[in-house]
């Protein structure tokens, strides 16, 4: 029985390692590529991929020999999303916000030292041909990530940098702990975070934290889009967008059970302080 249990566990681990090879960057893979990534033998990979194909978790292309994820994987992903109370509460709020602003709206939760995207909706001025759900992003280089970091203990923020997570994605990415501490203090003061070309050139966002019943920040909501469409240098524009995203994030926090009075009183900068960062 123990031997059978061990063999079954090994088979599951191998199957999961094969499915984990499929990413946005590598959405279609050959058996040889799967062998190289997992270290498994070709006969083992071929056999397991045939089983996964039969079960609907992968789909082969008869002409090219490439595999991609199949409908059963989509079903599992949809079930996982729909079982999240955060996703269910946020979906109508995020959808309405995207429609009202014509900008992109993203929801991501704080998980394993990164952001994990649960959903995104695109306004008319920030269309995408793909979904962000399931993707991850760094905390230090995103508005949502900084909104989360601002509510973490100082020891956690220091450890985040000490562990080498703060990679530079553009020349604007904050990679020094002292600089980040100053930015996080400002975020706590005004109630929202900004990101201007810190993760990708030509993009910007404003984000606000989402709290649970006990007040813990577990996620963030953002308004994002091309830098030219957010137009944060225009007088009053940053304040307007900040109020909008804070109000939506507070609405979501209340839906999750957060009831502290200041949740409905967003802190925003004065006109003279409206500098993205």
Higher pLDDT, 131 or 189: 189
Q: At which of 30, 49, 75 does a domain end?
A: 75
On the question of pLDDT at 265 being above 60, the answer is no
**161-177: per-residue pLDDT in tens?**
999 999 999 999 999 99
Stretch 104-125: mean pLDDT: 92
**226-258: per-residue pLDDT in tens?**
999 998 889 899 999 999 999 999 999 999 999
Q: Are residues 12 and 91 in the same domain?
A: no
pLDDT at 127 (0 to 100): 73
The tokens for 116 are: 């994990």
Q: Are residues 64 and 142 in the same domain?
A: no
pLDDT at 9 (0 to 100): 85
Q: Are residues 134 and 31 in the same domain?
A: no
On the question of pLDDT at 109 being above 80, the answer is yes
SS3 132: coil
Strand ordering across the sheet containing 193-196: 136-137, 114-121, 104-111, 217-226, 203-211, 193-196
Q: At which of 75, 95, 129 does a domain end?
A: 75
Do residues 31 and 46 lie in contact, with contact meaning Cβ atoms separated by under 8 Å? yes
Q: At which of 28, 56, 75 does a domain end?
A: 75
Q: Are residues 177 and 54 in the same domain?
A: no
**CATH number for the domain including 196?**
3.30.450.40
Q: Are residues 19 and 115 in the same domain?
A: no
pLDDT at 5 (0 to 100): 53
pLDDT at 123 (0 to 100): 79
Of 198, 225, 276, give the one whose Cα is nearest residue 98: 225
Of 134, 131, 157, give the one whose Cα is nearest residue 146: 157
pLDDT at 277 (0 to 100): 43
**134-162: per-residue pLDDT in tens?**
899 999 999 999 999 999 999 999 999 99
Q: Are residues 57 and 179 in the same domain?
A: no
Q: Are residues 129 and 147 in the same domain?
A: yes
pLDDT at 261 (0 to 100): 54
Stretch 104-117: mean pLDDT: 95
**2-35: per-residue pLDDT in tens?**
444 566 689 999 999 999 999 888 999 999 999 9
Q: Are residues 69 and 162 in the same domain?
A: no
Place of tokens 């930015």: 183
On the question of pLDDT at 263 being above 60, the answer is no
What's the number of domains the chain is made of?
2
Q: Are residues 17 and 90 in the same domain?
A: no
**CATH number for the domain including 34?**
1.10.10.10
Do residues 34 and 45 lie in contact, with contact meaning Cβ atoms separated by under 8 Å? yes
Task: Give the structural domain span for 65.
Answer: 2-75
Do residues 172 and 179 lie in contact, with contact meaning Cβ atoms separated by under 8 Å? no
Q: Are residues 61 and 152 in the same domain?
A: no
| CB burial of residue 254 (10 Å; 0-12, 13-18, 19+) | middle
On the question of pLDDT at 269 being above 60, the answer is no
Query: DSSP class of residue 263?
Result: G
Q: Are residues 222 and 123 in the same domain?
A: yes
| Mean pLDDT computed over every residue of the chain | 89
**59-68: per-residue pLDDT in tens?**
999 899 899 9
Using only C-alpha atoms, the chain has a radius of gyration, in whole angstroms, of 21
Stretch 215-227: mean pLDDT: 94
Rounded distance between C-alpha atoms, residue 253 and residue 218, angstroms: 10
On the question of pLDDT at 213 being above 70, the answer is yes
Query: What is the H or E stretch that residue 178 is in?
Result: helix 177-190
pLDDT at 251 (0 to 100): 94
pLDDT at 259 (0 to 100): 83
Rounded distance between C-alpha atoms, residue 171 and residue 31, angstroms: 39
User: CA dist 60 to 23, 39, 53, 66, Å?
Assistant: 16, 21, 7, 6
pLDDT at 264 (0 to 100): 44
Stretch 85-99: mean pLDDT: 94
Q: Are residues 196 and 241 in the same domain?
A: yes
């Amino acid at each position: 029985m123990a031997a059978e249990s061990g063999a079954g566990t090994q088979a599951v681990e191998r199957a999961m390692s094969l499915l984990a090879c499929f990413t946005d960057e590598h959405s279609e893979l050959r058996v040889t590529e799967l062998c190289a990534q997992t270290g498994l033998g070709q006969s083992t990979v071929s056999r397991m991929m045939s089983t996964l194909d039969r079960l609907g978790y992968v789909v082969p292309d008869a002409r090219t020999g490439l595999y991609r994820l199949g409908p059963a994987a989509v079903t599992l992903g949809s079930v996982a999303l729909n079982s999240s109370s955060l996703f269910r509460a946020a979906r109508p709020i995020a959808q309405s916000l995207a429609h009202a602003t014509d900008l992109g709206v993203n929801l991501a939760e704080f998980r394993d030292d990164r952001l994990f995207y649960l959903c995104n909706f695109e306004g008319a001025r920030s269309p995408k041909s793909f979904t962000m759900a399931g993707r991850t992003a760094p905390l230090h280089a995103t508005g949502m990530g900084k909104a989360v970091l601002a509510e973490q203990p100082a020891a956690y923020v220091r450890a985040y940098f000490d562990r080498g997570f703060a990679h530079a994605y553009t020349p604007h990415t904050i990679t020094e702990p002292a600089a980040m501490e100053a930015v996080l203090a400002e975020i706590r003061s005004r109630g929202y975070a900004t990101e201007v070309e810190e993760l990708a050139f030509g993009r910007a966002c404003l984000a606000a934290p989402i709290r649970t019943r006990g007040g813990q920040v577990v996620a963030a909501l953002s308004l994002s889009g091309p830098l030219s469409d957010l137009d944060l240098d225009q007088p009053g524009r940053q304040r307007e967008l900040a109020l909008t995203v804070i109000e939506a994030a507070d609405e979501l926090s209340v839906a999750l059970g957060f009831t502290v009075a200041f949740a409905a009183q967003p802190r925003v900068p004065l006109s003279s302080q409206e500098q993205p960062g």
